Amino acid sequence: MFADDRRATWERSHRVCVVIRTRTDLSRMLDVLRALDGDPRLDFYWTINEGSRFAGGVRERLARLDVQVVEWGQARSMVFDLIIAAHSDGALGELMGPVVTMAHGTGYNRRVLWRTEDADSPAGLSAKELTRGERVVAAAIGLSCESQVDQLSMANPHAVPRAFQMGDPTWDRMVANVDMRESFRRELGIGAHHRLIGISSTWGPDSTLGVDHLVVNRVVAALPHDEYRVVLILHPNVWTHHTGFGVRGLFGDAIEAGLVIVLPTTDWPAPLIAVDAFIGDHGSVSVYAAALGRPFLFAGRGDDELVKGSTTLDFVRAAGRLDAAADLRAQIVDAMRRYARSGVAEVARRAMGSQGRSLRLLQAKFYELMALDPPPQVPHPRRYSRLRLVRDDHGVTAFHCHPTLTVRPDCTVTVSVERYPAVLAEHRSPAHGGGAAVLVVDEHESNHQLKESAEVRVCGDDRDAAAVWGRITRTLLDSPCFLAAGVNGSRLLVGTRLGGRWDVRRVGGVPIDPGALAAAVYQLAVEPGCELSPSGVAGRGVSTVEVQVGAMTSTIAITRVSANAHSP
C-alpha cells in the first residue's frame, strides 16, 4: 500500500529520468510530470539527449526550473525505475530502465525523412526511431487518440503491443483553464472593446513565417488599432534559430505597433484561450487553437510535411486559407462569422482522445512500470503561471487616422476615427485603410521623419494650461503641422496654424485617446462647410459632437477660446 511505501521513502527512493532533446520536449514534460507530483518516493533526474540543432537554451531553461541535471554519460551508468521522453530515438536504448515515449505535440504528423528514413512513417513512430538493433526501445508508447494505433501499426507493427492511450495532458490543462479567459486577456492588455487575433508559426519553409515572413506585419497593419490586438506565438525552434535578440529585431516595427509576443518560457496555451480568432500553420498550436473553437485561418503551405492518415492533415485540409494579398480584416471577420458551422473545430479535436483523463492514464502507466502503488490522490491539471511577454509598454505614438464626418437627420454630428500604426504603413494596402489619411504623432515618437510629416501633433499632459498653450504655439511655429493639441487635465486644448484655439471637454460617453480626439477635431476644422464656429454644419453649431473610435463613443463640447498671445 502507499502508506507502507511512504514509511520506506528514505530507505529506497525510485529514480525517474526525464529526457529532453529540445525546448518543445520540455514544454510537454511540464504537463506530463503532473501525473507524478506529490510522491515523496520519487527522485527526478533530468538529462539532455544531445544532437538536435534546436537544443539551444535547454540547459538555461532547466537551470531556471532548478532541477537535478545529469550528463548523458552519467545517465547511461545509472539504473532508473522510469524513463520518460517526449520524443522517440534509438539512443534512449542506452539508458537502463523502462522507457515511455510520446509525442511533444498533437500526435504524430510530420514527414521527416532524415529522421525516419521512411516516407510513410510519421516522425516519432518510425522503426528507425523506435528500435535499437532489433529491439523496440520503449516499454510504453503513448498515443493521444485511436487513429494513432493505425499509424503505429503501419509504421512498426512489432511496437503495437507497447502502445497505450494517454490522451493529451496539454489539451486537458487548456480545457481546465478556459474559465480564466478574462484574466488572460487582462494580462495581455486586452480591453472589452478589443478583438484579439492570435498568430502562430512552427518552423521550416512550410510554416506561417516560411510562406510569408511579413505576414505578422501585414496583419497588424490591416487591423484598426482601437478594435484589434495581435498576439504572436512562435515555435521554440524559431527562438533557438534566431535567438531572442533576433526575434525582437525581426518584429521590432510590429512590436512598436502593438504586437505582443509570447516568450518561449511562458505558458503559451493561455493566450490561445484568450484569442477571438487565430492564424497559423500545421503546428500543434494551430490545432489546439482551432479545437478550442477559435475561428481559424490556415497560413501555411500545403500538406507536404504531413503524412497520410494524420489528424493534422485532416485539419489542414478542412481549414479555411488566408489570402495575404486580399483584405485581411474582411477574411478574419468572415472566419469569425462562419466558423461555428464550418466543422473545423470538430476535426481538430479528433487529435485529443480521452479528454479529461490524461493524467489518470499517465499515472496508471507510470506506476505500473515502476511496480508501485499510485498515490491515493487523483492528479488534476495545474493553473497557468503569469504570462511572460515581449511588448512595447510605451504605446503607439504615430497613427494614420481615417476620420469620417456624418450628420444624422436630427443634425447630430458624428466623427468616426479609425487608426492604423504609422510605422507599418508600407505593409498596408488600400483595402486595409491604406488610402488618404491624417498622420497624428505624439511628442514621444522617436521617428523624426514621422514628426516632420504629421498633420497633427499631440503634446503630453500638463496641469498648467499656460504651459500647454506654450507647447502648442511652439509646435505650430517649429513644425509644418496644421493642428497641435495638448492635454490639460481632463480637457484637450487645440490650436491650428490658422490661429483658431479651442477647449475640448468630454460631456458624455467614455474617455477617448487624445490622439484620436485630436484627429476628430482636425476633421471638423478641415471639413468643407463645417467650421469650428457658431455657423457650424448646415447652419447648426458644432459645439457638441459625438466621436466614435472603434466600439467607444464620447460626446465632446468644443468651446472657442481667445487666441491672444497663444497665436504663433
Residue type, 567: S
Whole-number pLDDT of residue 532: 62
Q: Which residues contact 332 (CB under 8 A, 6 or more apart)?
A: 197, 223, 277, 279, 295, 297
Mean pLDDT in residue range 274-294: 97
- As a whole number of angstroms, the distance between CA 279 and CA 177 comes to 22
State the burial class of residue 301 (Cβ atoms within 10 Å of its Cβ: 0-12, 13-18, 19+). Answer: middle
Mean pLDDT in residue range 522-537: 67
Give the residue from 37, 43, 120, 51 showing the smallest Cα distance to 87.
51
The count of C-alpha atoms lying within 13 angstroms of the C-alpha of 365, restricted to the half-sphere facing its C-beta, is 26
What cell does 366 get?
Answer: 507510470
Q: Is the pLDDT of residue 533 over 50?
A: no
Do residues 542 and 524 touch, judged by C-beta distance below 8 A? Answer: yes
- As a whole number of angstroms, the distance between CA 465 and CA 219 comes to 40
User: pLDDT tens-digit profile of 507-527?
Assistant: 999 999 999 999 999 999 988
Whole-number pLDDT of residue 1: 47
Whole-number pLDDT of residue 368: 97
State the burial class of residue 516 (Cβ atoms within 10 Å of its Cβ: 0-12, 13-18, 19+). Answer: buried
DSSP result, 118-149? -TTSPTTTSHHHHEETTEE--SEEEESSTHHH
Whole-number pLDDT of residue 564: 55
Mean pLDDT in residue range 497-510: 93
Q: Is the pLDDT of residue 382 over 90?
A: yes
Mean pLDDT in residue range 350-356: 92
Whole-number pLDDT of residue 531: 59
Q: Is the pLDDT of residue 537 over 70?
A: no
CA distances, 307 to each of 6, 109, 125 (Å): 46, 6, 12
pLDDT band at 54 (very low <50, low <70, confident <90, very high): low
Whole-number pLDDT of residue 32: 96
Q: How far is CA 260 from the centre of its chain?
A: 7
Label residues 40-60 b or e (16+ Cβ within 10 Å = b).
ebbeebbbbbeebebbbbbee
- If phi > 0 it is left, if psi is from -120 to 50 it is alpha, else beta; for residue 307 that is beta
User: pLDDT tens-digit profile of 191-207?
Assistant: 999 999 999 999 999 99
Whole-number pLDDT of residue 406: 92
Least confident stretch, 29-33, 62-66, 351-355, 562-566: 562-566
pLDDT band at 126 (very low <50, low <70, confident <90, very high): confident
Read off the pTM.
0.92
Q: Which domains does the chain have, with CATH numbers?
A: 2-171+355-370 (3.40.50), 180-349 (3.40.50.2000), 398-566 (no CATH)
Whole-number pLDDT of residue 534: 39
DSSP result, 195-231? EEEEEEE-SSTTSHHHH-TTHHHHHHHHS-TTTEEEE
Whole-number pLDDT of residue 538: 37
- As a whole number of angstroms, the distance between CA 220 and CA 421 comes to 8
- As a whole number of angstroms, the distance between CA 15 and CA 69 comes to 13
DSSP result, 21-61? SSHHHHHHHHHHGGGGTT-TTEEEEEEE-TT-TT-TTHHHH
Least confident stretch, 11-15, 54-58, 562-566: 562-566
Whole-number pLDDT of residue 121: 83
State the burial class of residue 108 (Cβ atoms within 10 Å of its Cβ: 0-12, 13-18, 19+). Answer: buried
Q: How far is CA 43 from the centre of its chain?
A: 35
Do residues 57 and 240 touch, judged by C-beta distance below 8 A? Answer: yes
- If phi > 0 it is left, if psi is from -120 to 50 it is alpha, else beta; for residue 252 that is alpha
pLDDT band at 6 (very low <50, low <70, confident <90, very high): very low
Q: Is the pLDDT of residue 258 over 90?
A: yes
**By percentage, how much of the chain surpasses pLDDT 90?**
71
State the burial class of residue 529 (Cβ atoms within 10 Å of its Cβ: 0-12, 13-18, 19+). Answer: exposed
- As a whole number of angstroms, the distance between CA 376 and CA 3 comes to 9
Q: Is the pLDDT of residue 113 over 60?
A: yes
The count of C-alpha atoms lying within 13 angstroms of the C-alpha of 330, restricted to the half-sphere facing its C-beta, is 10
Whole-number pLDDT of residue 195: 97
Mean pLDDT in residue range 495-517: 94
pLDDT band at 119 (very low <50, low <70, confident <90, very high): confident
What cell does 346 get?
Answer: 470538430
Three-state SS for 272-329 is HHHCCEEEECCCHHHHHHHHCCCCEEECCCCCCCECCCCHHHHHHHHCEECCCCCCHH
Q: What is the SS3 assignment for 529?
A: coil
User: pLDDT tens-digit profile of 156-197?
Assistant: 888 999 999 999 999 999 999 999 999 999 999 999 999 999
- Report the chain's mean pLDDT, rounded to a whole number: 90
Mean pLDDT in residue range 85-114: 89
Whole-number pLDDT of residue 308: 85
- As a whole number of angstroms, the distance between CA 424 and CA 428 comes to 7
Q: Is the pLDDT of residue 127 over 90?
A: no
pLDDT band at 430 (very low <50, low <70, confident <90, very high): low
What cell does 436 get?
Answer: 488618404
Give the residue from 325, 288, 277, 317 showing the smallest Cα distance to 300.
317
Q: How far is CA 195 from the centre of its chain?
A: 13
Mean pLDDT in residue range 534-543: 45
- As a whole number of angstroms, the distance between CA 554 and CA 510 comes to 5
CA distances, 374 to each of 37, 278, 362 (Å): 11, 40, 11
Mean pLDDT in residue range 407-421: 91
Mean pLDDT in residue range 12-28: 91
